Amino acid sequence: MIIRVRSVLMFLVAAVFLIVTACSGQSPNPKTTQPLTPSEKEHVKTPAIDKPTKLVVYHQWGMTTEGFMNLYGKYVTKKYPNLSFEVIGTSAGSLEQLVASNTNVDFIFHTELNLNSMISLGISTDLSDLIKTYKYDMEKWDPSVTKYMREFNDGKIPAIPLSLQTLAFYYNKDLFSKFGVPFPKDNMTWDDVRDMSLKLTRNDAGTMYWGYDTQNVGTKMLVNPLSMPIVDPKTDRSAFETDRWKNYITQMITPARIAGVTPAEGSKLDMFIKGQRLAMTSTMNSNFTMFAHSPGLNWDVANYPTLKEAPGVGPQPEIVMLYIPSTSKNREAAFLAAAELSSPEVQRELSMDGQQSVLRDSAIRDVFGARLSELNGKNAKALVPAKLAEKMPYSKYVTIGSGALTTAYNEVADGKKDINTALRDAAEVTNKKIEEQKSMTGK
């Protein structure tokens, strides 16, 4: 799994970090997370923060307090002027160290992959009581988010989702023009990508050009559009030795194998940005900021290609969350701040600034990047899939499986193993590592 940081979209870059956590012990109340009735919505408790309160935000990827205020805090303090924020990072210590020293933290930025870490550290919480008290409507979230949030922690809600990120499909317009190949269009399939890769992979006047390759293999597994589990959460065993997984990986590999980019060529992003010899790539939709600030790169974006067996369905989202640890000294104020950041009004503002909304409202999705000059003339709407795939069932061992799948993908792409052998070996590695981790933790 994978999390990333960008200068404009700091929060979107949630690189996967394994900090370790344990459950708060609160029992889930199924009623608190059910859709609100019209009468319930009419009797929402009026929130009040009647004294100066500072909320401490833990963000280990370099965001400053000023940066947080410019991106998010300004919207919260407009509604709650008694609130202020302080952002701390790894210079203040690891999360484990902060917990051990009883340092107060009110928010932890991370994706859904951080749940196990929260539980292992003993700071996971359940916000269901506050969701009920303030009649917070979870149904406003994108359906893929709502369903996942209700299920991934046995009905307990440890965080409020802030934004989404997923894969996008980028291309170099100059290389398409150079070789007379029509630009990629929205609603392509991976067969279309294969055909374009074949036309664009060539040696021209002694310079080698490649059609397609990807930077984020592990993410392709984690956000696969078929919602296939990587690890079965019921058995804690690998779940990818199936015909559907083989077919999916084959479709992903084929256009890259045609291009034949070897590991010796280096980073695929460097080949796309600096060398400008890679015509197409798939990477996170937040990476548009990197491309926009790369001199001489004439790039654009198309809808992420869909699978023949799932037409029109985009990848799964990674959910960037505001975790509120059980140790927070300002739990209710933190909840109200998170609720405000996920409100339609603020989500519209964030969408205009290029952050993918967690809400189901298509009007908010349609204004994505509207305030960003770097997206002028670009197919910006293609960065946000109209329909996201459902999230796969949560497993605390999913990053073990995705790592093994990444190795399998690369072995097949490089011609070192066939798909059956690679997946069988990956399953053995996954199951062995899961057992090792269980023996170490006793769980």
Tens digit of pLDDT at every position of the chain (443 positions):
444 433 333 333 333 333 333 333 343 444 445 555 554 444 456 666 889 999 999 997 778 999 999 999 999 999 999 999 999 998 999 999 999 999 999 999 999 988 988 999 999 999 999 999 999 999 999 999 999 999 999 999 999 999 999 999 999 999 999 999 999 999 999 999 999 999 999 999 999 999 999 878 999 999 999 999 999 999 999 999 999 999 999 999 998 888 776 655 668 888 899 999 999 999 999 999 999 999 899 999 999 999 989 999 999 999 999 999 999 999 999 999 999 999 999 999 999 999 999 999 999 999 999 999 999 999 999 999 999 999 999 999 999 999 999 999 999 988 899 999 999 999 999 999 999 999 987 66
**% helix, strand, coil for the chain, step of 5:** 45, 15, 40
The rounded distance, in Å, linking the Cα atoms of 105 and 18 is 17
Helical pair 243-259 and 190-200, crossing angle rounded to 10 deg:
20
Token look-up 């109340």 returns: 29
Query: What is the reported pLDDT for 264?
Result: 52
Query: What is the reported pLDDT for 267?
Result: 80
Residue type, 438: K
The fold of 167-315+393-441 is: D-Maltodextrin-Binding Protein; domain 2 (3.40.190)
User: Residue 350's closest CA among 1, 11, 22, 27?
Assistant: 11
The rounded distance, in Å, linking the Cα atoms of 101 and 308 is 53
Helices assigned H by DSSP within 320-441: 331-341, 344-352, 362-366, 398-413, 419-441
The rounded distance, in Å, linking the Cα atoms of 178 and 141 is 43
Q: Which helix (H) or strand (E) holds 377?
A: none
Query: What is the reported pLDDT for 19?
Result: 33
Q: Do domains 10-165+319-360 and 167-315+393-441 have the same CATH topology?
A: yes
Beta strand 159-165 with 237-238: parallel, antiparallel or unpaired?
Answer: unpaired
Stated pTM of the model: 0.86
Query: What is the reported pLDDT for 200?
Result: 96
Report residue 1 as tokens: 């799994």
Query: What is the reported pLDDT for 443?
Result: 63
Query: What is the reported pLDDT for 283?
Result: 94
Task: Specify whether the CB–CB gap between 400 and 231 falls below 8 A.
Answer: yes
Give the length of the chain.
Answer: 443
- The tens digit of pLDDT for each residue in 371-383 reads 999 999 999 999 9
The rounded distance, in Å, linking the Cα atoms of 284 and 318 is 10
The rounded distance, in Å, linking the Cα atoms of 420 and 242 is 9
> For the chain, what are the domain ranges?
10-165+319-360, 167-315+393-441
The rounded distance, in Å, linking the Cα atoms of 331 and 327 is 8
Edge-to-edge, what's the strand order for the sheet holding 107-111? 83-88, 53-58, 107-111, 318-323, 159-165
Query: What is the reported pLDDT for 46?
Result: 65
Query: What is the reported pLDDT for 44?
Result: 54
Class of domain 10-165+319-360: alpha beta
